[in-house]
Each structure stands twice: as C-alpha cells, then as structure tokens.
Structure 1
Amino acid sequence: MSNEWQHGLCGCFDNFGLCIISYFVPCYQFGRNAEAVGESCLMCGLLFLVPVLDIILGAHIRTKVRETKGIPGSFIGDLVLWFCCPLCALVQEAQEIQDIRPAAMVISRE
C-alpha cells in the first residue's frame, strides 16, 4: 500500500478546534489518539506527562496510526518527528484518525 497522510505535518489549522485542544491539553488528545488505535486512553494520557517517555510513546502510537492507514515510514522516523515537533505530529495523527472513524462507522452500520 502506498497511502499518504491526508493532512500535512504543518496542517494544524485544517481543524482549528482540534489544534486548540491539542495545544492546551495535549495529554487528553494523546489519550484519544491512543484509544483509537487500541491502547488505553487513560494510561497513555498519564504517561504522556512523563518527559522522554512521551516521545517514545508518541512514536509508538504514530507507528500504529501509520500501519492502520498503510502509510510508509519507520519507527525511527516517527521518533525523530516526535522529538522535533510533537504537537504538529499529535494534530496530524488526530486528523488522520478522524478520517478513519467515519468510514468505520459506515461499515459497522451496514
């Protein structure tokens, strides 16, 4: 599969509300992203508050989002991205997850 991210890394303002939530309460948004890919929302949200661990966990969740959508990349690339620009990565992942959810809801209703 050769899918790409639907929103750019600097496309934070594609969804202004999501951008604001991610900026002011990043642990909440991170927990929601983690829950969407099968991880514990509460545990990931709390662990996001631990320095260094937040970068490693962020890269892990980003890898899961990429694998779900079939987007090429590597864990090392995700780690570097989370190290350099964690909030941009967080918003991009959240936007990608929002694009996944409507399709999943439509499939489950049929």
Structure 2
Amino acid sequence: MYPPMHHHADGHPGTIDAAAGHPEYIPKQANYVPPPLFSPNVVAGRVPGRWSTGLCHCCDDPANCFITCFCPCITFGQIAEILSKGSSPCAESGTKYAVLLLTGFACLYSCFYRSKMRGQYDLEESPCVDCLVHFCCEPCALCQEYRELHERGFDMGIGWEANMDRQQRGVTVPPIVTSGMRR
C-alpha cells in the first residue's frame, strides 16, 4: 500500500522508488509541522482563512458599533443583503430580524448568515461555533461580520446592486477589433 521507508545515514527519511529501485531523498524542512490527521475545519486539504478582525474589535468602527448596539436590525439587514446577493433586501431582512428580536430567536436567524458568510469566504469557525458566538455576543458578532464584508471591498451603506454597479464600472472593456483590412 505505501512505499517502503528507507533511512539515510544522516537520519533523513526517504522512500524507495519501486521503478528505479533506489531510495528517493526527502530532506527535512526546518519549520515543517505535519498536518493533523483529522480536523473538523479542514475540508479537502484546505485550511479555512482567518477573519480580518477579531470578535471584540468593535471599537475599530465606532459608528457601526453604536448603530449595532442600539439598532442591530440595521446592521443585520446590511449583512444579509450582501450575503444573499440582493435576494433578501436590507429592509426585509432587518424587519424579520427585528420581529425575531422581540421573540428572542434573532440570534438563531443571524447565526445562519454567519455560517453562510463563512462558507462563502472560507473563514474559520472561531472563537467557537456560530450559534454560540451569536447567542453569547450578538452585537460583537454582527459588528465582526460587518467589518469583514467592508474589508472585502463592500460599501455596506449602498447595498448589493450599487456595489455590483461599482465593480462593473471599474472593469475596462477591451475595444472591438474587426478582422480584415480597410482603406
């Protein structure tokens, strides 16, 4: 199943090349740390990326922190519109969040969007599972998600459509070239 191991005189491991019949030298790397055999965050050999800011870095954007503390439905609506690519408008998502906030289930609704965001941008599930982050620290979680989208180039105040228009205006269209000679 595995090629037989061969150790060189200097102690470095190698494998025996079955076709050639001689050992293949594999040098040790100075800072090499072998990957874990199993990690719930590693999918198909990819390691999830880090968030651009920490969960408790709310003071990095004091205006958003203030809005999120006193009216989290605004911040949530902006996040939901971007993550749903415009299919859930800000006002609609924010209203649903506000109604769920009165019942106490808003953290479950917002947890779904955090998971969606992690999937879209391949972010690690930290500092703990998404539902616990939103249940224990809802305003901080919303602020972190808002900052992450902002760091990825979204202007959170203008919505999905306007962000897409901005991106399209930044793209240059090559000139149209006709074939053949003309005089």
Q: TM-score, normalised by structure 2?
A: 0.53
* Structure with the bigger percentage of helix: 1
Distance 2:117 2:110 in 1: 11
Q: Does 1:47 align with 2:99?
A: no
Higher Cα Rg, which structure:
2
Deviation string 1:53-96 (CA, Å, 9 cap, x unpaired) is: 3111110111122122211339x911111110000001000000
What fraction of aligned residue pairs are identical, expressed as a percent?
30
Check the 8 A contact 1:65/1:97 in 2, yes or no: no
TM-score, reference length from structure 1: 0.85
SS in structure 1 at match of 2:152: helix
1:68 equivalent to 2:68? Answer no
Counting matched residue pairs gives 108
Moved over 2 A (4+): 104-108
Shift of 1:40: 3.1
Contact 2:51 2:124 in 1 (8 A): no
Structure 1 regions of 5+ residues with no counterpart? Answer: none
Greater relative contact order (Cα < 8 A, sep 6+)? 1
RMSD, aligned CA = 2.2
Task: From the two aligned structures, give the one with the greater strand fraction.
Answer: 2
